Structure 1
Amino acid sequence: MKVTPAQLTELLSLYVPKRLPVLITGRPGIGKSDIVEQTAHATDHELLISHPVVEDPTDSKGLPFPSPDGTTAKFLPFGDLERAMTARRPLIWFLDDLGQASPAVQAAKMQLLLARRVGEHVLPPQVTFLAATNRRTDNAGVSGILDPVISRFATVVELEPTIDDWTQWAVRGNIPPALIAFLRFRPDLLSVQKTSRDIENAPSPRSWGFVAKTMDVVPKHLEHISYAGSVGEGAATELVAFLQIFRELPNPDAILLAPDTAMIPTTPSALYAIAAALAARANENNFDRVVRYTERLIGEGHREFAALLVRDAVQRSPQIQNSYAFIGAQGGEIGKIIRGE
């Protein structure tokens, strides 16, 4: 069953407090681990991340230790198993890349997942299992997961990234407005299934994150090379072309100085760019000017872009909602946008 990041986040917020294990599948780099980390923070759980692909079956069973008289032996937990066994606070035990682990390692997890014990050692009740894996078709070294292991999860879902969820995250994370505008213009490039086995990257939320981190430091003459190494040559070519449009538009500060007369673009790419750039500049002190320009956008039939501008501005700077301009706009078209009407 495919789920969006927002749906997965809500689902985990319900399953984790009930101690129900969840298996998350999906392409590499789409945010599975990030969502688990956010869930741990939101539900006040500690987070223990294990990588079964580099484990041995004894990691899930413990090491045999003889009694003083040498007649018996007990399996003593160590490493991640010991930390889980001694947990005092709510803990999410996250098994990352489970599908890349050997069948022997996967089999060793079965008793932990269902019986919540290994031999005489019982997991404390405050431990919850979550796991993630790529799919067989993702060229990630996944041979599959044993059916008895799959059946031990309360639910199995496939994460599918969406541009709406990504942009909400990007706005909150102060991702460069130019990149937000570009991916809104070309949402099909947010996550692309890699079809070759060549040693190159493909567009994904993770790889676009690397682009975001380098946009402020890479000079123009190296942009195409840098971005192609992160997201592939095709996506990088389109991004560089979009950046040329973005840079030739009126400066957002100039628009805020003259919101009643500043140019309003006509092409979708330029409108995405202006909306993202103005949202990044908006604050309590200048929101009255943003409102005036936004009203002009609505008047010229660009309501969709006006909605993006206002929503991004509020998400990036929530204190805008306390401004007189924001409160005063509630009765007009901008108020309808804010209320989602």
Structure 2
Amino acid sequence: MKIKTSSAASMLPKLFEARLPVMLVGAPGVGKSDIVAQAAKACGYDLVISHPVVSDPTDFKGLPWPAKSGETAEFLPFGDFARVLNSEKPTVWFLDDLGQAPVSVQAACMQLLLARRVNGHALPEHVAFAAATNRRTDKAGVQGILEPVKSRFATILEIEASADDWSMWAIENGIRPEIIAFIRFRPALLHDFKPGQDMENSPCPRAWASVSKLMALDIPEELELQAYAGAVGEGAAVELMSFLKLYRSLPNLDAILLDPGSAQIPDEPSKLYATVTGLAAKANAGNAQRVFRYAERLREAGHGEFSVLLVRDSLRRCPEIKNTAAFIKLAAGPVGKIFLGD
């Protein structure tokens, strides 16, 4: 059974606080690592990230070292193990790509995950465990996870991508509005992972974030297709370029904000997504009243979904808008509940 990224992110803090180990499973680039980081931040926990795939068993049980007597040996913790043992604040120890790790390293993790101690070293009570892995079918080098290791986790959650969840994350993390608008228009392309032998990427949340970074470089238009195809594959890049052509041909968004009461309202979904996402990216406390006026006109024109999207995106990008008179008036008005989802 699969779970959306937002649902997993809301569940993980409860598991961390109860000190119950959790493992996230999913295709490459779906956002597993980001979910763990987001949940740790929500709890106020420190985050220690280990990569068992490039580790040795001693990384998780300590390095054999002669005792002072010279007659016996003990295991001395080092690296991430020592950092976690000596931690004084609530901490999440995240074992990323656990399924790619050698069997010997997985076995070294078993006692830590359940007994929370190994070779005389006990983990502090404030340490919680999380792990992530790809699936065997993803061709990511996963040979499987030992059954005793799997049973050490309180629950295993299979993550699936959600265009709505990703859009909220993208807004909060500075992803370019063109990309967000495109994914909303073509949500199936958010994650269309197709593992293969060829050196070609597939569309996934991580790849779209890379496209956003590429766009920031102002690559010449004649080279954009090649650059974006290298990140998300040729098919998705061709569709993106068609959308960008439309996006760039829209009426000037600043012109809409200058005269929201009479500015043109698009009638095609692709243009609506582009206009709404672009306007929300420009929203601030100073122009909130104009943004809301255009949102009202969208609703009156029968585009209620897009009017709600415009208001919510604006608030997500600029929380200060909630302190404006325009927002207070909107929230108290007869359609406030429609816009705010209450």
TM-score between the two structures when normalised by the length of structure 1: 0.96
Residue by residue over 1:280-320, the C-alpha shift from the partner in whole angstroms, topping out at 9 and shown as x without a partner, is 11222222222222222111111111111111011111111
SS of residue in 2 equivalent to 1:92: strand
Indicate yes or no: 2:28 matched with 1:28.
yes
Q: How does 1:270-289 map to 2 (within 5 A)?
A: 270-289=271-290
- Which amino acid in 2 is paired with 1:326? F
The 1:311–1:334 alpha-carbon spacing in structure 2 relative to 1, beyond 3 Å, is farther
Give the ranges of 4+ consecutive aligned residues of structure 1 lying more than 4 Å apart after TM superposition.
331-334
Question: Is 2:287 the partner of 1:294?
Answer: no
Aligned-partner Cα distance in 2 for 1:284–1:33: 33
How far apart in 1 are the matches of 2:329 and 2:199? 55
Q: Check whether the contact 1:295–1:334 (CA below 8 A) recurs between aligned residues.
A: no
What is the distance in 2 between the residues matched to 1:283 and 1:291? 11
8 Å CA contact 1:15–1:21 kept in 2: the answer is yes
How far apart are residue 136 of structure 1 and its match?
Answer: 0.5
Q: Is the 8 A contact 2:307 2:339 kept in 1?
A: no
Q: How does 1:167-178 map to 2 (within 5 A)?
A: 167-178=167-178
Secondary structure class of the residue paired with 2:28: coil
Contact 1:288 1:325 in 2 (8 A): yes
Shift, 1:216, TM fit: 2.6
The runs of 5 or more residues in structure 1 that have no matched partner are none
What CA RMSD, in Å, does the superposition of the two structures yield over aligned residues? 1.4
Of all paired residues, the percent bearing the same amino acid is 56
- Note the C-alpha offset of 1:55: 1.2
Please say if residues 308 and 340 of structure 2, whose CA atoms lie closer than 8 Å, have aligned partners that are also in contact.
Answer: no
Partners of 2:199 and 2:239 in 1: how far apart? 21
Counterpart residue number, 2:208 = 208
- Cα distance change of structure 1 residues 322 and 63 upon mapping to structure 2, 3 Å threshold: closer
* 1:226-241 aligned within 5 A: 226-241=227-242
1:265 corresponds to 2:249:
no
- Secondary structure of the 1:153 match is coil
2:183 equivalent to 1:219: no
| Alignment-derived partner of residue 250 in structure 2 | 249
2:312 alignment partner in structure 1: 311
1:150 is displaced (CA, Å) by: 0.3
Which stretch shifts more, 233-242 or 278-287? Answer: 278-287
CA contact (8 A) 1:9 1:35 kept: yes
Residues 19-53 of structure 1 deviation map (CA, whole Å, 9 limit, x = unaligned)? 11101111111111112112222212221111111
Counterparts of 2:283 and 2:65, CA distance in 1: 64
Shift of 1:249: 0.8
Cα distance in structure 2, aligned partners of 1:286 and 1:104 = 60
User: Separation in 1 of the partners of 2:214 and 2:30?
Assistant: 19
Deviations 1:214-249 (A, max 9, x none): 213222111101110010000000001001101111
Q: Which of 236-245 and 38-47 deviates more?
A: 38-47
Paired amino acid for 1:43? C
Alpha-carbon displacement from aligned partner over 1:112-139 (angstroms, at most 9, x marks no partner) = 1111111222112111111000000111
Specify every segment of 5 or more residues in structure 2 that has no aligned partner in the other structure, as ranges: none
- Matches of 1:69 and 1:294, distance apart in 2: 77
Q: 1:142 to 1:303 in 2, by over 3 A?
A: same
Q: Distance in 2 between matches of 1:125 and 1:297?
A: 54
Name the SS of the counterpart of 2:152 in structure 1.
coil
Aligned partner of 2:11 in structure 1 is 11
- For 2:135, give the aligned amino acid: R
Which residue in the other structure is 1:330 paired with?
A: 331
